[in-house]
Structure 1
């Protein structure tokens, strides 16, 4: 009996965390899958099988939402990786103001997403916004950033990049600073220049940081809602509608079961795209 207790002793310390994880994540997930197959209100429910899923896939705006979500995720992820790496290199160099610049770059991450969305929707106003006013001062006729169907989604994506770039940069800074100094010393002995340092040392050896940024930014883009809703509410038309905003509109209309089914579909889509990407990136990761 004592031997069994000794073998299981350490696992008892995991029990509080396991209970919290079950209550906060596992249980709501199971309930979501169940209620996605019901027609429910706050006081009653009726089991209807896969009818909600069929209805959700018949939504006219769903194909646009899927396309917009994928474009949004790819654009924001790509820019956060590229700009985050460049800023990470800059802010780990020998410039004097790097500590100040690090705080400036990271500051937008601390600001509420809703506040950022409201502020930028005012700044991007076609006639009264500060951006077009500044462009007009130098003789450039600024576009309707959030009203033009051709650029509305990309305009919101740029704001998302501005807000999330600081977090990506911090990850890159940590990754670059973890590279052993011996690599730089060997490159210097071989007569390498700054480009060789960047391409042959920083890029491959900061791959773990790159993988983290890609996964976090891509999943964040697929799940994005609050910034889009604060800036455009999915408009004009369905131009900036993402899957999450379509789901929210179903909740607003009182179709709770249908919206829950949409959340399950979003969960499955994110898992189906993110898990293979995570596996692929980890397979190519360079060990220091």
Structure 2
């Protein structure tokens, strides 16, 4: 630096050095106060309250501390354990098939086919319909004697099963309806992931002589991982927390064959066992957390790899 430059910069540098450091403004954080208060009132506080009441025998007016008795009863009741097992089976089946079918439909609906926009609307439409409405409709369609499904099978000489009355089929029948209802959302998410892949990748693959399977395995599948992670996360959480469709179609029956954890909790609440049902809610909350936290981390690592 020349003497003239140093002389010119000297006063400015001296002024900057003598100026007090600007304090970081807290003003932007004020906008977080209202959301934080709402989150505390409607999520943190009810969660902590639920944890407390799960250790009590309570009604609407009194609460008696009983320690871990509710949890002991929960894991000793056969119906509750059946509901826990069915919850895991239901979540795995529905989320797995939504991923597979959603990806397949997304590939079809991003290819060069006729009426592509219309078909996308048709596939997504069940997502917009109430689960209760769909459940009541399929209860009629799956009626073993007068339902349209068995009547159609009967015209071709096939005796239809008791979709919702057979203990071995009831849970899987509801899962099929859940998949039909929810696959549209998975398809839309996968479509968004597929159309975001730059066309240069496909052009390079075509120049290298890659066939359709190689293009899918090496381009479409790896680059759609963010969409796949979203579908797996949403579908699995929805499967673990499923209640309305199962309740509308079977109410957990026949017997306890299609009971999931949420329906068992609701039945306990209806029977007046409020402490036991609260303990079941805590178990469901912990189950979702224990499964989804490591699964989400694994999906994020696989996505970054």
TM-score, normalized by the shorter chain, greater than 0.5: yes
Q: What is aligned with 2:80? A: 62
Would you say the 8 A contact 1:207–1:286 is kept in 2?
Answer: no
**In the aligned structure 2, how far is the partner of 1:96 from the partner of 1:11?**
52
Residue in structure 2 matching 1:160, options 178, 191, 200: 178
Q: What is aligned with 1:9? A: 27
**Is residue 2:60 matched to residue 1:32?**
no
**Is residue 2:273 matched to residue 1:238?**
no
**In the aligned structure 2, how far is the partner of 1:209 from the partner of 1:62?**
34
C-alpha displacement at 1:196, in angstroms?
2.2
C-alpha displacement at 1:286, in angstroms?
4.7
1:160-185 CA distance string (max 9 Å, x none): 00010001001101111111111111
**Is residue 2:235 matched to residue 1:217?**
yes
Q: What is aligned with 2:140? A: 122
C-alpha displacement at 1:257, in angstroms?
1.2
**In the aligned structure 2, how far is the partner of 1:39 from the partner of 1:167?**
41
Provide TM-score, normalisation by structure 2.
0.90
**In the aligned structure 1, how far is the partner of 2:80 from the partner of 2:277?**
12
Residue in structure 1 matching 2:69, options 51, 62, 74: 51
SS of equivalent to 1:257: helix
**In the aligned structure 1, how far is the partner of 2:297 from the partner of 2:215?**
28
C-alpha displacement at 1:199, in angstroms?
1.8
Q: What is aligned with 2:149? A: 131
Q: Which has the larger radius of gyration?
A: 2
Would you say the 8 A contact 1:205–1:286 is kept in 2?
Answer: no
Would you say the 8 A contact 1:153–1:239 is kept in 2?
Answer: yes
* Structure 1: gaps spanning 5 or more residues: none
Provide TM-score, normalisation by structure 1.
0.95
Q: What is aligned with 1:204? A: 222
Q: What is aligned with 2:296? A: 278
1:250-272 CA distance string (max 9 Å, x none): 00101111101110011001111
SS of equivalent to 2:64: strand
C-alpha displacement at 1:273, in angstroms?
1.0
| Runs of 4+ deviating beyond 3 Å | none
C-alpha displacement at 1:3, in angstroms?
5.2
**In the aligned structure 2, how far is the partner of 1:95 from the partner of 1:17?**
46
Of 80-89 and 16-25, deviating more is: 16-25
* Structure 2: gaps spanning 5 or more residues: 1-20
C-alpha displacement at 1:62, in angstroms?
2.0
**In the aligned structure 1, how far is the partner of 2:115 from the partner of 2:232?**
28
**In the aligned structure 1, how far is the partner of 2:278 from the partner of 2:84?**
17
Q: What is aligned with 1:169? A: 187
**In the aligned structure 2, how far is the partner of 1:26 from the partner of 1:91?**
42
Would you say the 8 A contact 1:208–1:286 is kept in 2?
Answer: no
SS of equivalent to 2:25: helix
